[in-house]
Structure 1
Amino acid sequence: MARTALSREEVLETAGALVRQHGPDALTMRRLAAELGTAVTSIYWHVGNRESLLDALVERTVADLSAITPRGRTPAARIVSVARALRRELRARPHLVAMVHERGLTERMFLPAQRVLAHEVHAAGLRGAKAAEVVRAVQFQVVGHVLVERNRERAPVQSPAEEELWAAASPGPAGSDLALARALAAPVDTERLFTTSVRALVDGLLGSRGGSAGSPDQ
């Protein structure tokens, strides 16, 4: 028996979960109605047709990415915290982010994070073109890292794999560095690698103005 009580928020939450897990093609009104235990007509009543539903999911995604709050005791640390939070949000909803991009709203999606970054860059004493350069550099670092991660995850199985190639400590200048070879033979800790790289970037761009960005383990 179809349920009678249903909210627009519940419809969007369930639709968003379907897209996150299976991609936009998996989102049909019939499947969504089955997930919610309701009639298709009830879905239409709350969100309109499928295109209207996708538009609402895009707006919801944009709103979700506007809720990033900086944390830390220094401008540099807070900038790094924003970068880490933005990466997590993008990683958590790749299909939804792709939908935002396809609808030409990418810049709008990133605007709240840019504003937070600009505030912290101003707190570090930078203005104008130099401040804009820092904001852009951090944004590009986040997006670039996420794209590389996604590409590695979707790539076909490599044979030999990076771990196998380095396991034998290949000849040449790096061959005598067994610790390096062992480290490169281990799986990549992408979270730590991102944090290390973004902290180095922020420290290099802000110098002494931004204070410490923290250690890679924080």
Structure 2
Amino acid sequence: MARSALTREEVLEAASALVRRHGPTGLTMRGLAAELGTAVTSIYWHVGNRERLLDALVERTVQEMGAVRPAGRTPAERIVSVARTLRREIRARPHLIAMVHERGLTERMFLPAQRALVDEVHAAGLRGARAADAVRAVQFQIVGFLLVERNRERSPAQSPGEGELWDPGAAPGDPALARALARPADPERLFLLSVRALTEALLAGPDR
């Protein structure tokens, strides 16, 4: 039996979940109706046709990504917190982010995070072009890291892999280095390491 009292937000949440799992091609009105236990006509009543539903999902994604808020005691800590949150939120919804990009709304989506970064570089004493460079450098680091990360995840199995290439004899002067490079990379740790180092360098005084 079809359910009643369905809300638009419930429809969008279920549609978002389907896109996250299967991509946009996996979102059909019949499949969404089955997921919600309702009639297809009810879906149309709440969100319109499939194209309007996709548009609503894009707008919802832009709003969700705009909810990023910095945390921490210092500007550097707050910048790192914004970067970490953006990476996590983008990784959680790659198909939805791709839909935002395809509709030319990427810059608008990142604007709230950019403004948060501007506040922090201002708090650290940066102004003008130097402040703008700092904001963009952090943003490019986030997006660039994500692209490399996704590429590594999607790449075919490597043979030989890092574990074979970096045997102890590969770096006779630094066996600890060889052992470390033979182990799988820890993306979360590397991301924080790189963002913290970049942020500290950007916020340092001109004499450094």
TM (normalized to structure 1)?
A: 0.92
Where does residue 175 of structure 1 map in the other structure?
172
Q: Which has the higher contact order (CA 8 A, sep 6+)?
A: 1
**2:72 pairs with 1:75:** no
Alignment-mate amino acid for residue 203 of structure 1: E
Q: Following TM superposition, by how much is the alpha carbon of 1:190 offset from its aligned partner in structure 2, in angstroms?
A: 0.2
Q: Distance in 2 between matches of 1:208 and 1:127?
A: 12
Q: Distance in 2 between matches of 1:178 and 1:101?
A: 44
Where does residue 147 of structure 1 map in the other structure?
147
**Deviation sequence 1:117-167 (CA, Å, 0-9, x none):** 00000000111111110000000000000111111111111111112211x
TM (normalized to structure 2)?
A: 0.96
Where does residue 111 of structure 2 map in the other structure?
111
**Aligned-partner SS, 1:175:** coil
**Deviation sequence 1:82-124 (CA, Å, 0-9, x none):** 1111111111100000000000000000000000000000000
Describe how 1:93-112 pairs up with structure 2 within 5 A. Answer: 93-112=93-112
How many residue pairs end up in the alignment?
206
Where does residue 129 of structure 1 map in the other structure?
129
Q: Following TM superposition, where does structure 1 have runs of at least 4 consecutive aligned residues deviating by more than 6 angstroms?
A: none
Where does residue 199 of structure 2 map in the other structure?
202
Instruction: Tell me how large the CA RMSD over aligned residues is.
Output: 1.1
Unpaired runs of at least 5, structure 1: 210-218
User: Are 1:134 and 1:205, in contact at CA under 8 Å, matched by a contact in 2?
Assistant: yes
Alignment-mate amino acid for residue 89 of structure 1: E
Where does residue 26 of structure 1 map in the other structure?
26
User: Are 1:121 and 1:134, in contact at CA under 8 Å, matched by a contact in 2?
Assistant: yes
Q: Distance in 2 between matches of 1:41 and 1:163?
A: 55
Alignment-mate amino acid for residue 61 of structure 1: T
User: Are 1:169 and 1:176, in contact at CA under 8 Å, matched by a contact in 2?
Assistant: no
Q: Distance in 1 between matches of 2:169 and 2:67?
A: 47
Q: Distance in 2 between matches of 1:164 and 1:32?
A: 46
Q: Distance in 2 between matches of 1:163 and 1:30?
A: 47
Where does residue 188 of structure 1 map in the other structure?
185
Q: Following TM superposition, by how much is the alpha carbon of 1:69 offset from its aligned partner in structure 2, in angstroms?
A: 1.1
Alignment-mate amino acid for residue 184 of structure 1: L
Unpaired runs of at least 5, structure 2: none
**Deviation sequence 1:11-65 (CA, Å, 0-9, x none):** 0000000111110100010110110011111000000000100011001111111
> Identity of counterpart residues, as a percentage?
75
